[in-house]
């Protein structure tokens, strides 16, 4: 996992380890060649294919049942050919170069590491959103907690942005211009495309079981989680709409920490994001219902 030095010191651990139902674990004592990952019934047998007019030999394995072909690439194996292209394993892993361990996992009903990570993160996010897990990644609270309130998350180096009030010619009444180029879903929040947004302040964003608090140099924003109407997530920011406040509030720079996520004893180091924060807040609201 690549992460730079700045992130290193911010690498925090989550205090949770969630488990899914058991999956089939492949036996340790058998070779991956004993069970074809494609048809799951044949064996893979070594065949030697000469290429480049016999100058180089390639290690090749062919299934004695479905004729799937695997070619060795360094220490890994590429699924290069199958007879039936509609085979689901071919659909998912055709042309992919995976390790013996990964092919063995697939043969016994598991997944490649990349797909496993995707499935685990998706599962983890769903659990977080449903309020079934708590993501507590801070010990020291910069704000005074109220009775029954618990600290969840502290994010330093956050910018607060708000839409600029633009005076329209002739009428004099203030109107808010809608920001252009906003990325929906979980794209990055690009400040340069938000000319209509004004950088208000820099500070620390603290999430508790009841509130989201921005403590800046000039301004303090106290958001009761129950007052939140919607959260728009970005990879590095969130936009919050809440009752009692006309302007949308943008908090950017929330991707400066990394967290570790564990599902079924598999641990991943991931960058914190607007989507994680959104689901964390939704989970907290669900827990209070
Ligand atoms: Zn096969």
Taking residues 125-133, what's their average pLDDT?
Answer: 93
User: Within this chain, do residues 282 and 158 fall inside the same structural domain, yes or no?
Assistant: yes
Using pLDDT thresholds of 50, 70 and 90, give the confidence band for residue 26: confident
The answer, yes or no, to whether residue 189 has pLDDT greater than 90, is no
Per DSSP, the chain holds a count of helices (H) and strands (E) of 5, 17
Taking residues 178-203, what's their average pLDDT?
Answer: 60
For 226, half-sphere exposure in the C-beta direction (CA atoms, 13 angstrom radius) is: 4
User: Within this chain, do residues 167 and 279 fall inside the same structural domain, yes or no?
Assistant: yes
Q: What is the pLDDT of residues 223-254, one digit of tens each?
A: 999 999 999 999 899 999 999 998 999 999 99
The boundaries of the domain holding residue 175 are 151-288
**Joined tokens for residue 114:** 């990349």
195: domain CATH number is 2.30.29
State in Å: Cα 107 to ligand 1 middle.
Answer: 10
CA gyration radius, the chain: 26
Least confident of 80-84, 95-99, 118-122, 180-184: 180-184
pLDDT of residue 13: 43
Instruction: Let me know if residue 12 belongs to a domain.
Output: no
State in Å: Cα 54 to ligand 1 middle.
Answer: 27
State in Å: Cα 118 to ligand 1 middle.
Answer: 26
Looking at the structure of the chain, the number of domains it has is 2
Is the CB of residue 204 less than 8 Å from the CB of residue 214?
A: yes
Using pLDDT thresholds of 50, 70 and 90, give the confidence band for residue 138: confident
Instruction: Let me know if residue 37 belongs to a domain.
Output: yes
Per the prediction, the chain carries an average pLDDT of 83
User: Within this chain, do residues 86 and 193 fall inside the same structural domain, yes or no?
Assistant: no
CA distance 284 to 89: 39
User: Within this chain, do residues 102 and 206 fall inside the same structural domain, yes or no?
Assistant: no
Instruction: Let me know if residue 125 belongs to a domain.
Output: no
State in Å: Cα 39 to ligand 1 middle.
Answer: 4
Taking residues 163-167, what's their average pLDDT?
Answer: 66
CA distance 278 to 189: 15
Instruction: Let me know if residue 218 belongs to a domain.
Output: yes
Instruction: Let me know if residue 19 belongs to a domain.
Output: no
State in Å: Cα 268 to ligand 1 middle.
Answer: 32
pLDDT of residue 205: 97
CA distance 194 to 182: 8
Size (the chain), residues: 289
User: Within this chain, do residues 104 and 157 fall inside the same structural domain, yes or no?
Assistant: no
State in Å: Cα 102 to ligand 1 middle.
Answer: 16
User: Within this chain, do residues 192 and 273 fall inside the same structural domain, yes or no?
Assistant: yes
Q: What's 151's DSSP letter? A: E
The answer, yes or no, to whether residue 15 has pLDDT greater than 50, is no
Q: What is the pLDDT of residues 169-183, one digit of tens each?
A: 434 333 334 343 333
Is the CB of residue 262 less than 8 Å from the CB of residue 16?
A: yes
């Amino acid at each position: 996992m690549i992460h730079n030095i700045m992130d290193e010191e911010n690498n925090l651990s989550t205090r949770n380890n969630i488990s899914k139902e058991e999956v089939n674990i492949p036996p340790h004592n058998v070779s991956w060649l004993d069970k074809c990952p494609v048809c799951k019934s044949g064996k893979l047998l070594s065949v030697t294919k000469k290429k480049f007019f016999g100058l180089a030999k390639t290690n090749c394995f062919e299934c004695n049942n479905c004729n799937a072909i695997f070619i060795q690439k360094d220490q890994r194996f590429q699924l290069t050919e199958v007879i039936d292209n509609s085979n689901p394993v071919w659909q998912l892993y055709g042309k992919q170069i995976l390790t013996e361990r990964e092919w063995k996992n697939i043969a016994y009903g598991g997944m490649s590491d990349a797909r496993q990570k995707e499935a685990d993160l998706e599962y983890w996010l769903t659990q977080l959103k449903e309020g079934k897990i708590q993501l507590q990644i801070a010990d020291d609270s910069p704000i005074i907690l109220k009775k029954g309130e618990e600290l969840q998350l502290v994010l330093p180096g956050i910018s607060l942005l708000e839409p600029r009030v633009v005076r329209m010619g002739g009428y004099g009444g203030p109107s808010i211009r809608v920001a252009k180029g906003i990325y929906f879903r979980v794209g990055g929040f690009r400040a340069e495309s938000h000319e209509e947004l004004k950088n208000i302040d820099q500070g620390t964003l603290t999430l508790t079981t009841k509130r989201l608090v921005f403590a800046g140099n000039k301004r303090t924003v106290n958001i009761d989680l129950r007052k939140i109407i919607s959260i728009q997530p970005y990879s590095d920011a969130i936009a919050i709409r809440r009752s009692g406040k006309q302007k949308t509030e943008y908090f950017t720079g929330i991707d400066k920490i990394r967290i570790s996520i564990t599902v079924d004893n598999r641990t991943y180091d991931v960058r914190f994001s607007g989507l994680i924060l959104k689901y964390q807040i939704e989970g907290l609201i669900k827990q209070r219902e």
